[in-house]
Amino acid sequence: MTATKSVFSVCGMCTVRCPIQVDVQDGKAVRVQGNEFSPLKKGLCARGAAGIALEQDPEKPQTPLIRVGERGEGKWRAVSWDEALDYVADKLKGIMAEHGPRSVLWSDRGGPFPDLHQAFMRGIGSPNYCNHDASCARNVQHGAQSVIGVGRKMVAYDLRNAKHIILQTRNIMEAINVAEVNAALDGIAGGAKLTVIDIRGNVSASKADNFFLIRPGTDYGFNLGVIHALIYEGLYNKEYVEQFVDGFEQLKEFVKPYTPEWAAAETGASAEAIVDLARQLSAAAPSVVWHPGWMVARYNDSFQVCRTAYIINALLGSIGAKGGLPFVNAAKEVGRKGLKKLADLFPKPEEKRADGVGWKYPQFDGGPGLVNLAYDAIVTGEPYPVKAYLCFRHDPLMAMPDPEALKKKWAGLDLLVSITFSWSDTAWNSDVVLPLSTYLARESIIAGKSGLKPQFFVRHRAQEPTFDSKADWEIICGLAKRLGLDPLAFETIEDLWNYQLQETGVSIEDFKAKGFVELADKPLYRPMSEIKLPTPSGKIEMLSGKWAKAGHDTLPPYVSPARPPQGMFRIAFGRVGVHTQGHTVNNPLLAEQMPENVAWIHTSRAAEMGIADGDLVEVFSVRGESGRIRAFVTDCVHPEALFMVHGFGHKLPVESRAIGKGAADHELMPGGLESWDKGGGCLSMQEHFVGVRKI
Ligand code: SF4
């Protein structure tokens, strides 16, 4: 037995990418914990710690596979890496020769490492780089851009220094980001109040000082009531608004009818409690974080929910404030040079995007686009045909509504490749599966992280892969070599890292001490007066000039959400601390922690239907799709909602621990791919009704 060594790395069990350190003995990872030099304080969530079980699990793709049966039939030919990469490269060459490079689509799960993916897409000449965000956070991103002119990650949530934290469309204690949880708990321990607004009593709500259980789909109305109280009770920060806000008078006029009494009738909260909340916020301002949300692909007006969260923060003077939403710093703000971008190895393609972002939808952020709209080009050939699709760690068949409709759209693809470290519905329906090494067995490119203290960080390989998998850089550089993209055909990870670090004054040796390199000695809070906002007015905009130019009203009248038809429920979904959507449900350790999901049904509704706690029920969509699931009968969910944790109801025969456990919410959303928020771009996944019957 050799002595234990410790390797600094980065978790990959969810998109947060926490800094970790891995104990390695005899060439195998034996323990994972949070990086002791980071705000994780050695802590980690259950999923991150379950990476060793993932690494050793034989129930994942073990070698490259090429489909031999029909798509989804599960018939494969195991091939060598050379054969797999030759096959994909030859197919891409043929498709690009016939339809042009623009016919190639890529999607991933975003995060800090896409520079390599974007470089690959630029190299082949396609503008169609996308990520998963149309089914996640695009509404927040666009909400931020429409109010403050920059993306959501350009401001931090200063939870540790906050005096009041408001969680709405953000369940911080279950949809976990370890550093954020630690910061929120430190803030609460230091006296911060916590307010939770949700359709169910989640774990975050169990720690709240104020909890509002509101009617599903009424968050925009709730926020308008709060804005009304802040303005008409004189509780907002007048000096800040005068100096930094544009469009305040229009906002004041707009919210006039949306009184707290009106909001109470709409949401089910009491008017007194809404006014009291506004007073509490005013007393804590500017050290208030009204979280604008994370996974917000929910309602037709979720974009407005995100926007009004930013607006409330602005009225309280929290944007740019310590304890609020201070602006983060990139390397250049602290006098340092940033990483050299791999995407800059190639010119930006001049073609317009297949999803319409940037031309048909000029208000949207062109970075990761809207992948659901790019799928339409496969079917219609407009604005041009999309024929090849590479899915990197992304499972759209589980992440998006109506998977059968999506499979039909993909039928027009000549090539569908899944690069993945676990089985997924998308991998099962692909033409080629390229097994990605787990985060314990691969390196990644260096990433830059903006923050109050910006840093560079890197993922090191803690052990060699247990099965025949490869790192993302090995797969992409291997394809680049075969496609003649010589600048991206790096032979070693060191060559790649050295390219990125040119001119930064940092060497790869500098990451040895802590696993990351801080670019500043202490947090830098830049005062609002020093911030140049790239909005058309140069100020925080209550009405977005950019969206107005695209013909979109950013203070639209509130539309009351439809109530479910008699005997039905509005479907709602969310997260739990021990799983990351569908891709951890078959993990040996995490499956033990939570093997199946349950359907939360209000006690009064369950009684009407003769359903008792623990009964097996069938939940069915209006089109007839159904799933079997146990009922969880509780007072802690709104009577109009039926809630379940997302990611269950697996059907793949290769996942023995997950198959047949619980129900899949996304399969109960017929036509859901066509239902999206035109303001913010996200799919509206909670605009569906379901019925329930006892089995
Ligand atoms: S939150 Fe958990 S799963 Fe996600 S990166 Fe951090 S440790 Fe890993």
The 10s digit of each residue's pLDDT in 582-603 is: 999 999 999 999 999 999 999 9
Ligand 1 atom showing the smallest separation from residue 16 Cα: 5
Specify the pLDDT at position 366.
85
Q: What percent of the chain has pLDDT over 70?
A: 100
Answer whether residue 474 shows pLDDT above 80: yes
**Distance (Å) from CA 586 to ligand 1 centroid:** 17
Q: ∠ CA(85), CA(89), CA(95), 5° rounding?
A: 150
What would the pLDDT profile of 611-637 be if each residue is shown by its tens digit?
999 999 999 999 999 999 999 999 999
* Cα(121) to centroid(ligand 1), Å: 28
Question: Which burial class, exposed, middle or buried, applies to 568 when counting CB atoms under 10 A from its CB (0-12, 13-18, 19+)?
Answer: middle
Confidence of residue 488 (pLDDT cuts 50, 70, 90): very high
In DSSP terms, which residues pair with 417 in a beta bridge?
A: 390, 432
Mutation test residue for ligand 1: of 10, 11, 174, 439, the one with most atoms within 8 Å of CB: 11
pLDDT at 513 over 90: yes
| C-beta of residue 271 within 8 angstroms of C-beta of residue 189 | no
Ligand 1: residues within 6 Å at CB? 11, 13-14, 16-18, 44-45, 47-48, 176-178
Q: At what angle do helices 472-482 and 493-501 cross, to 10 degrees?
A: 90
Six token digits for residue 117: 């993916």
| Cβ–Cβ < 8 Å for 440, 464 | no
CA 88 to centroid of ligand 1, rounded, Å: 32
pTM > 0.85: yes
For the CA of 176, the closest atom of ligand 1 is 1
The conformational region for residue 660 under phi > 0 = left, psi -120 to 50 = alpha, else beta, is left
Tell me the one-letter amino acid at 440.
L
The mean per-residue pLDDT over the stretch 249-254 comes to: 98
Tokens of 153: 């990650």
Compute, in angstroms, the gap from residue 18 CA to the centroid of ligand 1: 5
Nearest-CA residue for ligand 1 atom 8 is: 48
Residue 120 CA to ligand 1 centre (angstroms)? 27
CB 303 within 8 A of CB 268: no
Confidence of residue 111 (pLDDT cuts 50, 70, 90): confident
Which atom of ligand 1 is nearest to 34's Cα? 7
User: Which of 41, 52, 178, 421 for a ligand 1 pocket mutation test, highest count of atoms within 8 Å of Cβ?
Assistant: 178
Gyration radius (Cα) of the chain, Å? 25
- Going from the C-alpha of 324 to that of each of 3, 238, 251, 310, 540, the distances in angstroms are 46, 17, 22, 11, 15
**Could you tell me the distance, in angstroms and rounded to a whole number, from the CA of residue 17 to the centre of ligand 1?**
6
The pLDDT tens digits of the residues spanning 140-161 come to 999 999 999 999 999 999 999 9
Q: In this model, does residue 1 exceed pLDDT 80?
A: no
CA dist., res. 24 & res. 27, Å (int) = 6
Ligand 1 atom showing the smallest separation from residue 17 Cα: 5
What is the distance between the alpha carbons of residues 641 and 345, in angstroms, rounded to a whole number?
50
Q: Ligand 1, closest atom to CA 46?
A: 2
Determine the distance separating the centroid of ligand 1 and the alpha carbon of 575, expressed in angstroms. Answer: 13
Distance 71 CA to ligand 1 centre (A): 32
All residues at 6 or more sequence positions from 309 whose CB lies less than 8 Å from its CB, including other chains: 143, 168, 223, 290, 291, 292, 293
Q: pLDDT confidence of 47, banded at 50, 70, 90?
A: very high
Please check the confidence at residue 3 and state whether its pLDDT lies above 80.
no
Model confidence at 41, pLDDT cuts 50, 70, 90, reads: confident
Contact 118, 343 (CB under 8 A): yes
Tell me how far the alpha carbon of residue 21 lies from the centroid of ligand 1, in angstroms: 13
State in Å: Cα 9 to ligand 1 middle.
Answer: 12
How much is the pLDDT for 518? 97
Residue 612, pLDDT score? 98
Measured in Å, residue 489 CA sits from the centre of ligand 1 at 31
Q: Give the pLDDT of residue 461.
A: 97
Residue nearest to atom 1 of ligand 1 (CA): 177
pLDDT score of 524: 96
pLDDT digits (tens, 9 = 90+) for 436-448: 999 999 999 999 9
Average pLDDT of every residue of the chain = 97
Mean pLDDT over 136-141 rounds to: 96
Residue ranges with strand state E in 515-579: 516-518, 540-541, 568-574
What's the mean pLDDT in 35-52? Answer: 93
HSE (side-chain half, CA atoms, 13 Å) at 575: 24
CA 186 to chain CA mean position, Å: 24
* CA-45 nearest atom, ligand 1: 2
Q: CA-CA distance, 270 to 262, in Å (whole number)?
A: 10
CA of 581 to the centre of ligand 1 (A): 13
pLDDT at residue 523 above 80? yes
Question: 2 pLDDT exceeds 90?
Answer: no
Best residue for ligand 1 mutational test, from 45, 109, 393, 438 (most atoms within 8 Å of Cβ):
45
Question: Which atom of ligand 1 is nearest to 20's Cα?
Answer: 7
* Atom 4, ligand 1: residue with shortest CA distance: 14
Query: Which amino acid is located at 626 in the chain?
Result: S
Residue 347, class by beta-carbon neighbours within 10 Å (0-12 exposed, 13-18 middle, 19+ buried)? exposed
Strands (E) in 329-427, as ranges, are 388-392, 415-420
Q: What is the pLDDT of residues 59-110, one digit of tens each?
A: 999 999 999 999 999 999 999 999 999 999 999 999 999 999 999 999 999 9
pLDDT band at 303; cut points 50, 70, 90: very high
* DSSP assigned state of 451: B
